[in-house]
Chains A and B, each alone.
Chain A
Amino acid sequence: MTQSTDINTKKQKLVAIVNSTAPFSSTNGRDALDLALIFGSYEQATSLFFQGDGVWQLTDKQDATLINSKDYLKTFAALEFYDIENIYACQHALTERGLIDSPFIINNVCVLTQQAFSDKLHLHHAIFRF
């Protein structure tokens, strides 16, 4: 992509996109995913984080069509094609919500303790939160 040549000559920033809200009651999750895919298409190093109610976005077998919403969670499967492979979830948030043993919608989610989650986030240079 020609647009990416300029920015790739600069020192790359590590970009973190943090999801902190449940999937369908707001557009936050969709807007965050759109942004992640754009950063991915510009070949920017991008990681996804899920904390608080954001971990509900990772729950498998949700049927958004039952509540007249677009099932954007299916698009998580496309992340690997955009080279977005660093996906982190907060263990504490999962435990709090009884989701710690539930299957995820994608299989490369790395579950981290609160401390490790925080440490990982701090390695990034730009953080977007939704």
Chain B
Amino acid sequence: MHSLAVIVTTPPSSNLTATALHFIESALAQGINVVGVFFYQTGVLNANDYVAIASDEFQVIEKWRLLHAKYQLPLHLCYTAAQKNGLSEEKETNNIACYFTVSGLGELVELTSAADRVVQL
């Protein structure tokens, strides 16, 4: 079975993030083993619990949650990038959605090594 790692570098407001999501959904639907998704740069904002998207727009944040729930897909967050973008995992100020895994760039090295293919969006 082919394996795939995906890097998301764009925020929830970007159409490129919707593309990344559709790409991952298609891969999973075809039985490709997606070993993990890594959120880098402003891609980390996809993990921000406080992001509110107008109800008549594409609910990309909710889609990440559903994707994780359906496939137990690991969603890794670069914590350095997360901190630079106002995310926190401190108890009192935690605003990182619980289905994300707080990781570091080392995780991206591991994913790159583990997957047959790496796709950055």
Contact = CB atoms under 8 A, between A and B. Distances in A.
Q: Determine if chain A interacts with chain B.
A: yes
B59 interface: no
Contacts of B120: 127-129
Nearest to A44: B109
A63 interface: no
A42 B109 CA distance: 8
A38 B112 contact: no
Contacts of B40: 31, 35
Interface size class of B (residues with CB under 8 A): 10 to 19
Contact of B113 (A10, A31, A35, A129): A10
A81 to B, nearest CB: 17
Contact of B109 (A31, A39, A127, A129): A39
B110 A38 contact: no
B contact face: mostly helix, strand, loop, or mixed? helix
Interface residues of A, number: 19
Contacts of A15: 112
B7 interface: yes
A75 B40 CA distance: 20
Interface in B85-107: 104-106
B50 to A, nearest CB: 22
Contacts of B113: 6-7, 10, 13, 44
